[in-house]
Amino acid sequence: AQSVAQPEDQVNVAEGNPLTVKCTYSVSGNPYLFWYVQYPNRGLQFLLKYITGDNLVKGSYGFEAEFNKSQTSFHLKKPSALVSDSALYFCAVRDGDSGGYNKLIFGAGTRLAVHP
């Protein structure tokens, strides 16, 4: 069965410090991995994706993610956190059994709180 795990319900970080939001996955075949961010009462905003290529993927708003095949992880990172980064973050993987279209399996979400 394909799945995504976000082991932390919440991550707290001080403004200006680096942040990491963890994600591990389990899929059959090559993983298509995504990160989305959700602000209160809003839809999900796409941050970045890994399909193939370099293991370090750069995305929107200064975020990046590192794909690690041996550890089946795709952690989201940012060198210097901003208070405005406080939001709910979802990791997602494309369901390999979805018959070709982009059905996403989402993790449970991690709430990031950046303190001034």
Q: How far is the CB of 50 from other proteins (least distance, A)?
A: 11
Comparison of 46 and 61: residue with beta carbon closer to other proteins: 46
Comparison of 30 and 55: residue with beta carbon closer to other proteins: 30
CA distance to 22, 34, 71, 75, 111, per residue, from 67 (Å): 11, 11, 9, 7, 21
Q: How far is the CB of 111 from other proteins (least distance, A)?
A: 8
Q: If you search the block for the tokens 């993983």, which residue do you land on?
A: 31
Q: How far is the CB of 30 from other proteins (least distance, A)?
A: 12
Q: How far is the CB of 16 from other proteins (least distance, A)?
A: 26
CA distance to 81, 85, 101, 102, 103, per residue, from 76 (Å): 12, 12, 24, 21, 21
Q: How far apart are the first and last CA of the chain?
A: 41
- Nearest alpha carbon to residue 92 among 61, 46, 56: 46
Comparison of 47 and 114: residue with beta carbon closer to other proteins: 47
> What is the binding site for other proteins (CB under 8 A)?
32, 34, 36, 38, 41-46, 49, 88, 90, 94, 100-104, 106-109, 111
